[in-house]
Amino acid sequence: MSQMLPYIPGATTVGLVYRDGVLLASERRVSYGYFVMSKSARKVFKITDFIGAACAGLVSDMQVLAKEAAAYANIYTYEKDRPISVRATAKLMGNLLFQRRLIPYITQTIVGGIDDDGPSLYVLDLLGSVIPDKYASVGSGTEIAMGVLEDEYKENLSLEEAKELVKRAVKAALARDAASGGSVDLLAITKTGTKEETVTLT
């Protein structure tokens, strides 16, 4: 396994709960070892109108996991005639990951959104552990990004404050983590729905 590690792509992906919802973000670089394969890969996904996921790891595994989760969430909504909760979506994705534990999806995932209980955020590892938190980071730039989040996060941030904090965290990681880079995709989730934005860090 240690011989394969250089070929597992890195990333810097963050998420946090702010006053009115959840903000998810990830940069776009895909690198294998010393080779930058792409500068335009999306690692932030809309699962439902009020739930999203941001990932680090193999892009193909992220895409399949997000599509599976979205399909099951739609089935749940159709059968129960009500939207799926953020916690249920996180547990659903955790179950999908655990089912694949012998040949796992190589992805770390942050799931966030808003429901009747308000905004919430969960962190999942590749074996499906589901851990609630107010802010999180996954990927090869985690240690650097978490240092910024730990230092500057506070309750009841506005959307603009949350965006600035997320951008500072990702920018700090990009400066030190060669596997992360490029522009940054943001997904803001509130009770009115989701809004996507791509920013270039200077």
**Amino acid letter, 174:** L
Helix (H, G, I), strand (E, B) or coil at 113: strand
Of the residues 12, 109, 142, 190, only one is catalytic, namely 12
* Residue 12 a catalytic site member: yes
Dist. CA 190–CA 183, nearest whole Å: 23
The residue to which tokens 């059968």 are assigned: 79
Helix (H, G, I), strand (E, B) or coil at 189: strand
The residue to which tokens 């909760």 are assigned: 85
Contact 122, 111 (CB under 8 A): yes
Contact 138, 86 (CB under 8 A): no
C-alpha distances (whole Å) from 127 to each of 15, 35, 70 are 20, 27, 19
- Give the residue numbers marked as catalytic: 12
